[in-house]
Amino acid sequence: METAPIVLFTYNRVSDTKNLLQSLLGNELSKKSTLYIYSDGPKPGASEQDVAKVSAVRDFVRTKQWCKEVHIVEAESNIGCGPSIIRGVTEVVNKYGRVIVLEDDLNLSPFFLDFMNDALNVYENTPNVSSIGACNFFACGPKFPSTFFIQYPDCLGWATWADRWQFFEADASKLLDELRSKNLIPKFNSHGAFDMEALLIAQINDHVSAWDIQWTATCILKNWYSLYPNLSLTQHLYKGGDATHSHFEVLPPLQQERLVFQKTNVEILPHVYQAMKLGYQKKSDFYGNKIEIKKDRTYYLNKLREVYYPLRGAFKKLKNR
């Protein structure tokens, strides 16, 4: 099998980077793959401690031959999460025609690379499939098919092709205008399951440094679909503290065997879509079963985080002006 290149984005979390790369080594196809590591630089005015964290990550990624080939791209200064990912994905996918994308806070199934490469091959010539997803946290288990489609692309371990990524639109204002003019905001928000419009506006106002919000909007406007596995192939490990982009933990059951699948019709199954909506609203478990939201200390802390982190980003932007 000819393997797609992998691009990994790192910053200052050496423990997370260690976990990710160790789980990547657990994939047999890592021995046949090319890995590009994009290491973002320290922020302006960073303390010695913060600079040391970035250096620790850069030192660690050189300790092993993680894949057949490893290329490390180090930014001299901080580019930011969104611009760094847009740049790296664009450079690698344009060179190879396809790409597998990882961030440093993921844990991978031993069969992550098998699924990504198999799916890239199977759906390469299906133009309405935008990407391959990995983190299924809402439709796991026997009630659901081995693979399925939804219109939300994944950002927690994913893959795409150059002829799809070429349509990526970074201009959030342009996307918002087009979504509104075509009456696609309800669809963009998954009919009330998630307020993607607010996130797009936050990007417009420079309150977040994102790429996935624009990619989702692009996919909705193109009427594209993303393939997901059953069970999940990644977990998102949020431990607090140094995270700058994602502030949640998602630990669905990981796939522990190679998922062999055949090409299926590109369509959304109603029970999968319902499970997705419930999952995004945190009203169901990983298996699509409805749950009663327990309004304990954790619930209210999560609600505070949802408000706090965008505001924190906005205040930091204003402070640095």
- Residue 296's pLDDT is what? 52
Residues 88-125 pLDDT 10s: 999 999 999 999 999 999 999 999 999 999 999 999 99
Which domains, from first to last, does the chain contain? Answer: 6-290 (3.90.550.10)
Give the pLDDT band (50/70/90) at residue 292.
confident
- Burial 262-286, CB ≥16 within 10 A → b, else e: eeeeeeebeebbbbbbbbbeeebbb
Q: What is the mean pLDDT of residues 60-76?
A: 97
CA–CA distance, 313 with 82 (Å, rounded to integer): 13
Helix (H, G, I), strand (E, B) or coil at 114: helix
Q: b/e map of 9-39 (b: 16 or more CB within 10 Å)?
A: bbbbbbebbebbbebbbebebbeebbbbbbb
Averaged pLDDT, 233-257: 75
187, 276 Cβ separation under 8 angstroms: no
pLDDT number for residue 144: 97
Report pTM: 0.89
What pLDDT is attached to residue 313? 53
Q: Cα 15 vs. chain centroid, distance in angstroms?
A: 19
Contact predicate 211/321, CB 8 Å: no
